[in-house]
Amino acid sequence: MRVCTAHFEPLVTCSNATTASGYHIELFRRAAEDLNIVNYEFHCLPFGEMMSDLLVGGEKCDMGVGGITITTQRLKAGLHFSFPTYRGSLGVLVRGQVNEGSTWSFLNPLHWSVWLAMALTSLVIPVIVFIIESLSCHGFIHKQDWSRGLKQAIWDSLVTLLNFGNFTVHSQEARIIVVGYGFLVLILINTYVANLAAFLTITNIESSIKSVEDLSGRKIVAGGVYETRLRTQRIHVSRTFTSAQKDDEVELFKKPGSNYDALIYDEPWVTHLGAKDCTLFVLGDTLSPFDYGFVFPNGSKSIEEDFSRVLVALQENGTMTELEEAYVSIQLRDCPIDKEVSDTQAVHFRHMVGLWIILGVCVAMSLVGIFMKWVKRVRKARHEDANPGLKRSKTIVETAYHPHAVKKRELKTEKLGASDSDPSFCIQHGFGQSFSEFQTSVNSQLRDLRDDMHMLLDRIDAAGSPNIPAMNSVAGKDGVV
């Protein structure tokens, strides 16, 4: 059997006219072995000559092996293809240089729009918190608190942004905003750290083309057989070349004065070339998936079916995957860096706008809470005006940002005692009692219990009841926890 092939690394490597190796060559050998075909020889020909011979009926070739794309045009011309031997696509080769970084490279993980939004938020939120906290706790803003209070609030906002501290607020409305702001800071910090790690660990290439989306409107050189495919994806091809011309076209493309921005051809070949040449870089994404196959001239239906059946079996038992890893997936390391253009990009504001929406909802909830408190205060004031004899004392909590807001009025009532005074709308001691306050309360209750037990024991002794152990042995000498 005359097996024709063409040099097309890494799928086929022709050492001479009759010796070849590579993914497709080894795959053919495995298939021939399963079909008990032992009498065959390879003929390395130019790709165009091989395809022309197969189209006229195979005067030199009984079949073709190596990087032959299954296309409608070739099927219409009378060629027959086996079951697909490799799932390929179009790779994009660009010129560029390694970005060594700069003094301000640490800003790259986030787009300038995110940095600007963060800066504005860190200045606006403390103003909102300052106002909400004062209105919620005091119902007014003392004029002497604006300067000092806003400075402290802005400072707390900045240290929160740097994960060094937090706001000191007492009202529930202000806490809602602080929680929303804290969530925004949490996500932004983790996003920055993750993207910074990607920027530091992946080679960053300076090129005018970072992804396939950048190909529109650029001058592209590509294999002629793929021009129609690329046109359907709105990529204009300025120049085409044949398989025999690809090596010469690469040399022209590499020249600094080249007018072309990208070269598009079969992904295995593009990746292999990019790994060998340190002046060329491969985009991370590809275009237009397609299949390779073994090709047969017209009238070879029987042998085509035999090879297809065996190739299906080789795919199912993992042989194809094994050969791909051995011949195609292997990366050459002639260059000192990872030769692939990273698609890692700065995070834009549009990617994170949801965080600001959540923060806006928190602010809206706080405003609703302030409005409800205002309504409650108005109703209470009207009730007190309608009942002059009803007097209450109102406590104004001194908050972190409002040291000049003090108690405004103290009214006493005949009907309500001090324990029934109007409670503050703020939590004076943070989230609840401190441990020392709790301990003091418990000790006081234990002392009262001890005194009651002593009184009960005195009454029992006076009545002549059986002896009961002393209280000190039960409650402790001082009753202190």
Note the pLDDT tens digit of each residue in 354-368: 999 999 999 999 999
C-alpha–C-alpha distance, residues 156 and 134, integer Å = 16
Instruction: Provide the whole-model pTM.
Output: 0.53
C-alpha–C-alpha distance, residues 351 and 332, integer Å = 36
Q: What is the pLDDT of residue 254?
A: 84
Please tell me the total number of residues recorded for the chain in this structure.
Answer: 481
Q: What is the pLDDT of residue 378?
A: 79
Q: What is the pLDDT of residue 291?
A: 92
The per-type count for the chain, helices as H runs and strands as E runs, is 14, 15
Dmax over CA atoms of the chain, in Å, equals: 131
C-alpha–C-alpha distance, residues 94 and 97, integer Å = 10
C-alpha–C-alpha distance, residues 28 and 306, integer Å = 12
Query: Tokens 């006219």 identify what position?
Result: 17
- How does DSSP assign 56-102, residue by residue? TT-SS-SEEESS-B--HHHHHTT-EE-S-SEEEEEEEEEE-EE----
Residues in the chain predicted with pLDDT less than 70, given as ranges, are 97-102, 200-207, 330-344, 384-385, 387-398, 402-446, 463-481
Q: Which residues pair with 462 in a beta bridge?
A: none
Note the pLDDT tens digit of each residue in 358-414: 999 999 999 998 888 888 877 877 776 676 655 554 555 567 776 666 444 333 333
SS3 of 250, please? Answer: helix
Going 355 to 361 to 363 to 365, the CA torsion angle's sign is negative
Going 64 to 69 to 70 to 71, the CA torsion angle's sign is negative
Cβ burial 295-312 (10 Å sphere, 16+ → b, else e): bbbeebeebbebbbebbe
Query: DSSP secondary-structure letter at 348?
Result: P
Amino acid 409 reads: R
C-alpha–C-alpha distance, residues 87 and 448, integer Å = 85
Q: What is the pLDDT of residue 431?
A: 35
C-alpha–C-alpha distance, residues 231 and 381, integer Å = 76
C-alpha–C-alpha distance, residues 220 and 224, integer Å = 12
H/E run at residue 282: strand 280-282
C-alpha–C-alpha distance, residues 23 and 266, integer Å = 15
Contacts of residue 78, Cβ cutoff 8 Å, sequence gap at least 6 = 55, 297, 298
Q: What is the pLDDT of residue 439?
A: 56
Q: How far apart are the first and last CA of the chain?
A: 98
Tokens linked to 427? 């939590």
Is beta strand 237-241 parallel, antiparallel or unpaired with respect to 220-223?
Answer: parallel
Q: What is the pLDDT of residue 475?
A: 42
Tokens linked to 90? 């179009």
C-alpha–C-alpha distance, residues 270 and 70, integer Å = 19
